[in-house]
Structure 1
Amino acid sequence: MHRIVSAKAELLELRLDKPVGGSGVAQVDVVIVDISDEEGRTGLGFTYALGGGGNVVLECARTQLDKIVCGQQLVHPSALWGTVASTFNRTGYGPNLVALAAIDLAAWDLYSKRLEVPLASALGGVPRPIRLYGSGGFTATQTAIEAAHVADGYVERGFQAVKPRVQGKISRDSEVLRAVRHTIGDSVAMMVDANEKCDLVSAKQLLLLALDHNVSFVEEPLPAQALSAYRALSAHAPVAIATGEHLQTVAEFLPYFCEGLAAVVQPDLAMMGGITPIMKLCTLAEAFNVAVSPHFLPGLFVHVAASSTSIRQLEDFPLIEPLFEGWPTCDAQGQVTPGTECGHGLRLQRSRRQ
């Protein structure tokens, strides 16, 4: 009755008007997955590769759909996720997981529609408003004045937190943090994102600088795989450390939980392989009393936040949002609430269909 009878994937190349964020991304490859069941219900999923490389992800998605997903009974999305992921034992995670993210999201969308409830409810949650922090618009190449101007724009829209980018160059970073703090005042929270640009020495300096400017957390002061350096940095960290957008699988987060290396973890939908493993990560975070602040896509993760108290804020960084309709809107207090439409409520813009 709930067999998936159609499953397809396509690639969209989204070229940005200018480089964005701390890594200067100028193109995003977005893989779209559409599935449908015997009763005509449909599910839409997507994943992405920042900076290109989407063709590899597309091939992985098509292989998973053709060889595994199409013809499967969709008993529950997490069961489907496990079935697909079990085939990665000889090829590894990498683009396989990035592709699975789109399939998993499509499965949750279809499953929610079958239950005739919003995704937030299908995930077992109760919809609630979640605070956004301003992140899009900041880049690592901005002057202090430019960063302050972006921050001021967020505050005028009702946001209570902002996250400028830093370079790991203390003299320049000091100017940026001073200017942003002066602009937003003491009542608005500030985080900073180093995008893995520091070594251990400059990371220690950055955390001390962050303390001087009442920064809530420093994101990715070091590469995510540099566990020895994170151990040394966290041992005497004067402010909270955040990381996680470059990690794949719940297992890769375990040292950060078990050894107290980060106070905030930031799973990425694509890297993690979808909502299913992120739900597991949220449960683990609750057990360790660690905050979860997902990377990008607040209009999607607000559904996940409905079922996990570990998610306390979401990142406003519009990137692939223009491809879709149906995103929940931000209110005057800088908060977002899940919509009431069945599923995740998103639709690919008709003009984007190939």
Structure 2
Amino acid sequence: MSQTATPPAAAAAAAAPTAPASTGDRIRSITLSHVVLPLPNPVSDAKVLTGRQKPLTETVMLFVELTTEQGLEGMGFSYSKRAGGKAQYAHLKEVMDVAIGQDPSDIAKIYESLMWAGASVGRSGVATQAVAALDVALYDLKARRAGLPLAKLLGAHRDSCRVYNTSGGFLQASVEEIKEKATASLEAGIGGIKVKVGQPDWREDLRRVTALREHLGDGPFMVDANQQWDRARARRMCRELERFDLVWIEEPLDAWDHVGHADLSRTFDTPIATGEMLTSVDEHMGLVDAGYRGIVQPDAPRIGGITPFLRFATLAAHHRLDLAPHYAMEIHLHLAATYPTEPWVEHFEWLDPLFEERIEIHDGHIFVPDRPGLGFTLTDEMRSLTVDTATFGA
């Protein structure tokens, strides 16, 4: 049987590396918005009672809205509490030009280019939190272009996650006020209740926890010390709290005390939870490397966006760690739905004035929206709360 020889030129062309695939689209313009959202009432956790911080009165938001040459749009956000909002906004303004003209599908490439553009101030902290807003917007755009909720684009394991409320459990509220708010949350379909502890008088912590456990019966119940115990006090308190059948004890130690958290997680039956204050994958991996066996609580806006969140989530799943992302349920519901084991999502209603849509909650679960992308559009109130904007590109 005769065969036709391949011409040398054609063979060379076939062997040559092909150009990278492209959507044919480019980022045309990006608008940043610096938004100050007042809270209805100031709230205090243990950091206030120990004199380390002032009561929280507002959340400062950094929004990114981007448009491509093909007319596609994406929206993302980051946030700060008490300090850092102006710094996030200023940092992103300095490096944003790098993103203009890039293919919006090259999310990891864009993320790295912005991190290196601002690397002189480090690749954690304010730098990552600023870039996070753009990273989230790029994922929102990608899912909108596909016509899918973000969770479905990433590959969901479930359509809903367990949900618990935190906003009703702060320390400035009396036990009776917390009971009333807990009842309202449960009646609204929320499954678990978290309250703050870590006061200078540990006996008062136990009094409040006892009262709330009696009020909740055997329902899911968590406590959060907001990093206010040293190692000795943390061990004593974890021992005292074992009898309350808690879902977890959160941040008993300084957020950077990886060894201390790892020790507690291997010592007590009640799970330990931490991670919300960490601002890079490397900081989170410090917990894993120390032998931590508790619940990890990465925060996508703090860790640097969805790109690094997914990197760490893959590693956390490999180590069989449970997940309970911190705050920003509008983003974290999608990410939690992609985790192999069912996580908890934290419910805060504080950001509701900024978004037109509401998330479905019932029977102790919070449900992934069926709308494309994150599934949220910005309100006129968000525009009225904007104190500064900057636009890049056409």
TM-score range, shorter chain: over 0.9
Is the aligned partner of 1:54 residue 2:85? yes
Instruction: Output the CA distance in 2 between the equivalents of 1:256 and 1:237.
Output: 17
RMSD, matched Cα: 1.9
- 1:166-185 equivalences under 5 Å are 166-168=197-199, 169-185=201-217
Structure 1: which 5+ runs fail to align? none
Q: 1:311, CA displacement in angstroms?
A: 4.6
Q: 1:223, CA displacement in angstroms?
A: 1.0
Q: 1:138, CA displacement in angstroms?
A: 0.9
Secondary structure of the 1:195 match is coil
Q: Which amino acid aligns with 1:34?
A: E
Q: Which amino acid aligns with 1:266?
A: Q
- 1:156-235 equivalences under 5 Å are 156-168=187-199, 169-186=201-218, 188-235=219-266
Deviations 1:186-228 (A, max 9, x none): 2x11110001111112211221121011112100011111234
Distance 1:145 1:262, change over 3 A: farther
Q: Give the TM-score of the pair, scaled to structure 1.
A: 0.93
Instruction: Output the CA distance in 1 between the equivalents of 2:248 and 2:307.
Output: 26
Secondary structure of the 1:215 match is coil
Corresponding residue of 1:266: 297
Q: Of the candidates 375, 378, 383, which is equivalent to residue 348 of structure 1?
A: 378
Corresponding residue of 2:355: 324
- Select between 301-310 and 39-48 the one with higher mean Cα deviation: 301-310
Q: Give the TM-score of the pair, scaled to structure 2.
A: 0.84
Deviations 1:104-154 (A, max 9, x none): 011011111222222112212255111101211111233333333332322
Is the aligned partner of 1:80 residue 2:103? no
Residue correspondences, number? 351
Conserved in 1, the CA contact under 8 Å of 2:353 and 2:382? no
Secondary structure of the 1:103 match is helix
Corresponding residue of 1:139: 170
Secondary structure of the 1:14 match is strand
Corresponding residue of 1:20: 43
Secondary structure of the 1:19 match is strand
Instruction: Output the CA distance in 2 between the equivalents of 1:83 and 1:38.
Output: 20
Is the aligned partner of 1:32 residue 2:55? no
Q: Which amino acid aligns with 2:273?
A: A
Q: Percent identity?
A: 28
Instruction: Output the CA distance in 2 between the equivalents of 1:62 and 1:34.
Output: 13
Instruction: Output the CA distance in 2 between the equivalents of 1:109 and 1:282.
Output: 19
Deviations 1:162-181 (A, max 9, x none): 11111243210111111111
Structure 2: which 5+ runs fail to align? 1-23, 48-54, 387-394
Conserved in 1, the CA contact under 8 Å of 2:360 and 2:369? no
Q: 1:73, CA displacement in angstroms?
A: 1.4
Q: 1:184, CA displacement in angstroms?
A: 0.8
Conserved in 1, the CA contact under 8 Å of 2:44 and 2:172? no
Runs of 4+ in 1 over 4 A off after TM superposition: none
Q: 1:280, CA displacement in angstroms?
A: 1.4
Q: Which amino acid aligns with 2:37?
A: L
Conserved in 2, the CA contact under 8 Å of 1:242 and 1:262? no
Is the aligned partner of 1:5 residue 2:28? yes
Conserved in 1, the CA contact under 8 Å of 2:163 and 2:365? yes
Secondary structure of the 2:121 match is coil
Secondary structure of the 2:213 match is helix
Distance 1:313 1:234, change over 3 A: closer
Corresponding residue of 2:306: 275
